[in-house]
Structure 1
């Protein structure tokens, strides 16, 4: 009986695949593993040079930062300059390097980013964990007509990097667990943005100017609450305020403590801000979720310097009203017995939000053990 061929039996060997598919197979590997496939056969020798995904991952096993930088430098020099990248992922833990804190070298992430941009990468993700002080990315703007998604995790970011005027195709932006020491985050094109677990500078407010934004998540941040400029296309927003907000003196629950010798009040200039912080940018939403930790007292998403105590016994309207004309759903999450809910409801009603559109979800406080 004649043996059936691989094709007739429905089985295909990996060597029967076209080069384009093999390049995608190579892309599933880390950069070092991808290079090692060149030893498989003559056909595989150069496939890694034009793989559409570049991944510098923690499983590459480099003992020193210098070793990583040397490998990446040669990797980029030997890659096919005409080969375009779909995505670039840079993800590793600096604590895995031998005596990282005592070494003069830092990972040359700026070089890798520039290479990804020059290869027209549409998606770039940088995730670099350093135990004490996050790695500061180069303070240089990204310029790309092709970049669509940018994710930055556990890194420090300064002004020029978050000026995305040179990235007209950028639509998805995510900052996670790092430091944003920039005066302005701006983009003409971003539609979806997430800022989760990040620290802002506490000496000035970071302005967020993204008029094309459709969805926003701003949660678990610390430092000075960012200032949201007009976002007329915003549909959904979720804002969560934590105890780490630096819009007040550490010695008091509201604004300044009143002590003329208080260093914190003198150094913290953001306390004196008398303009809207978050309300103006959120006023166009149709779905809004607001959360606050139990110790957060000021209504940061409203008009400063109002706070809960001052408003509760007063019917005076806000200095500057921002009617929520498109708002369909409002969710307020808090602990049971939190009297600040009445304050929030009063202020929302002053801004043309009917109470029937607001749902309040109260949860039981966790018991405190001594």
Structure 2
């Protein structure tokens, strides 16, 4: 059998379909998948047309930022703008020159240019528990095709929290993210998850404007509890409040005695949380004892 296969020139994978080979390539980091180009012309074309990409750029694979920069340019040049269904970018941004950060942003823009539908962005985790700086998004994402966005250890600044230029975005998940802006907004969003020690500001309530939301998970965050605007289609909501939520106000009224409380910016009687959750069909609200008084007057 081996002699027959070798004589045919097909190799071990010669009988597999192109779709199956592309599926196999989707599990390989881009640096490894790129090396299949040297096998033959068939593999080169397969790599270019794969619709799932895993882009892992860490210090283990690329000890120098210059090497990372070279690969990014080569990768984009060889692959072109072939459409993407899913793209996962894992990078570290701890280099002094900011090269890794610059090229990470270049890859994000490239994925959006390839009409990616699912984009996952996170920071690399090393075996020695090295903690890298978070990726910073300081400009809005622009895409007519992006449906799912998963961010892990990403700091979002001001305009990056406005998803109005992603009109078909339906799923947004944030984990260990910093939220540095006054409003998260998206008319198309249906599912929102903010969990695993995300950081909200301590001097004002971030407003969440997502009128089409049907599912909400808000749990395990630091800072002031966000203010939820009216969500008429909300079906399922899970909200967990702990001591890390730095809310001072117990009445949510403009005559609050705490000058730092974000409730001063909102009309009298508008609840920080419960106003937005009022239409939820299935609501799970987890509140520790010290938080009960803060919600009492909202009820």
Contact 1:123 1:149 in 2 (8 A): yes
Task: Select which of 256, 262, 265 maps to 1:270.
Answer: 262
Give 1:227's aligned residue. Answer: 227
1:1-370 paired onto structure 2 within 5 Å: 14-57=13-56, 61-81=61-81, 83-93=82-92, 100=94, 102-107=96-101, 108-129=103-124, 131=131, 133-137=133-137, 139-196=138-195, 197-248=197-248, 266=259, 268-270=260-262, 272=264, 274=268, 275-296=270-291, 298-300=293-295, 306=297, 347=299
For 1:17-60, what per-residue CA distance to the aligned partner results, in whole angstroms no more than 9, with x for missing partners? 33333223222210000001112233223322222112112577
Segments of structure 1 that go 5 or more residues without pairing to the other structure are 7-11, 95-99, 307-317, 319-346, 348-370
Task: Give, in whole Å, the separation in 2 of the partners of 1:71 and 1:34.
Answer: 12
Task: Give, in whole Å, the separation in 2 of the partners of 1:171 and 1:119.
Answer: 19
Task: Give, in whole Å, the separation in 1 of the partners of 2:233 and 2:66.
Answer: 46
Contact 2:187 2:210 in 1 (8 A): yes
Contact 2:148 2:172 in 1 (8 A): yes
For 1:212-234, what per-residue CA distance to the aligned partner results, in whole angstroms no more than 9, with x for missing partners? 11110000111111110000000
State the Cα distance separating 1:254 from its structure 2 match. 9.5
Give 2:127's aligned residue. Answer: none
TM-score, scaled relative to structure 2: 0.82
Task: Give, in whole Å, the separation in 2 of the partners of 1:292 and 1:86.
Answer: 39
For 1:271-300, what per-residue CA distance to the aligned partner results, in whole angstroms no more than 9, with x for missing partners? 546531011110001111111235445435
Contact 1:127 1:152 in 2 (8 A): yes
Contact 1:191 1:213 in 2 (8 A): yes
TM-score, scaled relative to structure 1: 0.68
Contact 1:247 1:271 in 2 (8 A): no
Task: Give, in whole Å, the separation in 1 of the partners of 2:68 and 2:235.
Answer: 43
Task: Give, in whole Å, the separation in 1 of the partners of 2:83 and 2:131.
Answer: 34
Task: Give, in whole Å, the separation in 2 of the partners of 1:175 and 1:39.
Answer: 38
CA gap 1:186/1:241 in 2 versus in 1, 3 angstroms: same
Give 2:8's aligned residue. Answer: none
Contact 1:254 1:297 in 2 (8 A): no
Which of structure 1's runs of 4+ aligned residues deviate more than 4 A?
Answer: 101-104
Q: Secondary structure at the match of 1:44?
A: helix
Task: Give, in whole Å, the separation in 2 of the partners of 1:68 and 1:293.
Answer: 46
CA gap 1:141/1:194 in 2 versus in 1, 3 angstroms: same
Could you say what the CA RMSD is over the residues aligned between the two structures, in angstroms? 2.9
Task: Give, in whole Å, the separation in 1 of the partners of 2:275 and 2:104.
Answer: 36
For 1:54-79, what per-residue CA distance to the aligned partner results, in whole angstroms no more than 9, with x for missing partners? 21125771113342233112211221
Residues matched between the structures, number = 278
Task: Give, in whole Å, the separation in 1 of the partners of 2:13 and 2:247.
Answer: 59
State the Cα distance separating 1:183 from its structure 2 match. 1.3
Task: Give, in whole Å, the separation in 2 of the partners of 1:184 and 1:248.
Answer: 20
CA gap 1:141/1:229 in 2 versus in 1, 3 angstroms: same
Task: Give, in whole Å, the separation in 1 of the partners of 2:17 and 2:232.
Answer: 48
State the Cα distance separating 1:168 from its structure 2 match. 2.0
User: Larger relative CO (CA 8 A, sep 6+): 1 or 2?
Assistant: 2
Q: Secondary structure at the match of 2:151?
A: strand
